[in-house]
C-alpha cells in the first residue's frame, strides 16, 4: 500500500524533495501557509535544477483541513519555525505515523519526541543546496541531492524498509543508515564550522582563505567543532574530517553556508540551533569553543538588529 506523505513546508528543501517525490508519482500533499498556497496554486511548484527542471501542480492542504493521520511526515521547516509547525501538523500524526525531520542540529529531535513520543521520530539528514528565488521558484545551486534516514536506535525495522522503498527511485539519492545519529552529528559539525567561519568573516571560503591567517582560522574552527562532537560521543571519522577541512580551506571556493546566505538577505538565521545548542553541548563536557562562541555572539548582534516580527 502506498504511503501517504505530508510535506511540511514547500520551501527550498521540502519543495525540492517533495516535488521530486510527487514527480515520481508518490502520494504527496504539501502543508503550506496561505501566501505560499496562493503562489503554488497560481504558478505551480517550479524547480530549476541541474537534474532537470519541473513544473508541478501539487496537492495542498492547510492545517485546519487535516482530518486523518498520514503515514509519513517529511518535516523541512527552519528550526525557528518548528514549534508553530508542530501545532500545524499535529492532527496528521497517528499511532503509526513516521516523522522524518531534516532540520539542522539536534534540538528538534528532543522537541518532537517530547510532543509526539520517541517512537514517532526518525533520524534524518538532508544534503542539498537550494533556495527560493524572487519568483518563488526552487533553484538547486549544486548537483548533490540526498536524503539519509534511519531509526535512532540503529535497528532496521519493517517501517524503515517501507520508507526506504518509498524513497528509492524518486529522482534523488536516498540512503538507509544503520547509524543515523552519527550521520546527523557529522552534518552538524560541518554546518556549525562552515556557518561560524562564513558568518563571522562575512565571506565565502575562497575569500576567507585568501586573507592572511584565513585558512588557519578555518582549521581551528573545524577542530573546535570536532572536539564537541567527540566529547558528545560522536567522534567524526578521519575521512570526513580530511574532506571537510579540504573544503574549508579550498582556494577560490565559492562555498558558503545557508546561514550566511540568509544573513546577506537580512533574514532570520538558525544561530541558536546550529551554533548555540552545539556550544552548550560542548560546554557540558568542558569543551572550550572560543571561535564558535565569537560567531554565535556576532550572529546574536545581527539577530537583535532585525525588525521584530
The rounded distance, in Å, linking the Cα atoms of 72 and 92 is 9
Q: What is the pLDDT of residue 139?
A: 94
- pTM score, whole prediction: 0.90
The rounded distance, in Å, linking the Cα atoms of 103 and 281 is 18
Express as a percent the part of the chain with pLDDT over 70: 99
pLDDT range class, residue 1, cuts 50, 70, 90: low
Paired sense of beta strands 123-132 and 138-150, if any = antiparallel
CB 148 within 8 A of CB 125: yes
**Cβ-Cβ contacts under 8 Å for 68 (sequence gap 6 or more):** 92, 94
- Does residue 229 have a pLDDT over 90? yes
- Does residue 309 have a pLDDT over 70? no
CB 231 within 8 A of CB 170: no
Handedness of CA 189, 195, 201, 206 (dihedral sign): positive
Return the C-alpha cell found at 226. Answer: 570536532
Identify the H or E element spanning 72.
strand 72-75
**Mean pLDDT score, 25-46:** 93
Paired sense of beta strands 59-61 and 72-75, if any = unpaired
Q: What is the pLDDT of residue 296?
A: 98
Phi/psi of residue 269, nearest 5 degrees? -125, 160
Place of cell 529531535: 109
Residue-by-residue DSSP string for 116-131: H-GGGBPEEEEEEEEE
The rounded distance, in Å, linking the Cα atoms of 77 and 79 is 6
Express as a percent the part of the chain with pLDDT over 90: 91
pLDDT range class, residue 2, cuts 50, 70, 90: confident
Paired sense of beta strands 4-8 and 27-31, if any = parallel
* Inter-CA distances, 199 with 43, 139, 251, 269, 276, Å: 34, 22, 18, 10, 14
pLDDT range class, residue 10, cuts 50, 70, 90: confident
Torsion angle of C-alpha atoms 233, 237, 242, 244, degrees rounded to 10: -60
Amino acid at each position: 500500500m502506498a504511503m501517504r506523505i505530508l510535506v511540511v513546508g514547500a520551501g527550498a528543501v521540502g519543495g525540492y524533495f517533495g516535488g521530486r517525490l510527487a514527480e515520481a508519482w508518490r502520494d504527496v500533499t504539501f502543508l503550506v501557509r496561505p501566501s505560499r498556497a496562493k503562489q503554488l496554486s497560481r504558478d505551480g511548484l517550479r524547480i530549476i535544477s541541474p537534474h532537470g527542471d519541473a513544473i508541478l501542480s501539487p496537492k495542498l492542504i492547510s492545517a485546519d483541513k487535516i482530518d486523518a493521520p498520514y503515514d509519513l511526515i517529511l518535516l523541512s521547516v527552519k528550526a525557528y519555525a518548528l514549534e508553530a509547525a508542530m501545532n500545524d501538523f499535529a492532527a496528521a500524526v497517528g499511532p503509526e505515523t513516521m516523522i522524518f525531520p531534516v532540520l539542522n542540529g539536534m534540538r528538534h529531535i528532543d522537541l518532537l519526541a517530547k510532543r509526539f513520543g520517541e517512537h514517532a521520530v526518525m533520524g534524518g539528514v538532508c544534503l542539498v543546496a537550494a533556495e527560493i528565488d524572487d519568483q518563488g521558484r526552487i533553484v538547486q545551486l549544486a548537483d548533490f541531492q540526498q536524503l539519509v534516514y534511519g531509526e535512532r536506535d540503529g535497528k532496521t525495522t519493517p517501517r524503515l524498509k517501507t520508507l526506504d522503498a518509498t524513497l528509492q527511485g524518486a529522482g534523488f539519492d536516498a540512503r538507509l543508515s544503520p547509524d543515523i545519529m552519527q550521520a546527523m552529528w557529522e552534518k552538524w559539525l560541518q554546518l556549525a564550522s562552515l556557518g561560524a567561519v562564513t558568518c563571522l568573516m562575512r565571506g565565502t571560503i575562497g575569500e576567507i582563505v585568501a586573507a592572511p591567517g584565513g585558512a588557519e582560522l578555518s582549521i581551528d574552527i573545524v577542530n573546535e567543532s570536532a572536539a564537541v562532537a567527540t566529547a558528545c560521543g560522536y567522534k567524526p571519522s578521519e575521512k570526513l574530517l580530511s574532506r571537510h577541512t579540504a573544503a574549508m580551506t579550498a582556494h577560490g571556493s565559492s562555498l558558503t553556508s545557508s546561514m550566511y546566505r540568509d544573513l546577506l538577505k537580512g533574514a532570520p538565521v538558525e544561530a541558536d540551533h546550529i551554533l548555540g545548542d552545539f556550544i552548550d553541548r560542548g560546554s557540558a563536557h568542558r569543551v572550550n569553543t572560543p571561535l564558535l562562541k565569537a560567531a554565535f555572539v556576532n550572529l546574536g548582534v545581527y539577530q537583535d538588529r532585525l525588525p521584530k516580527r
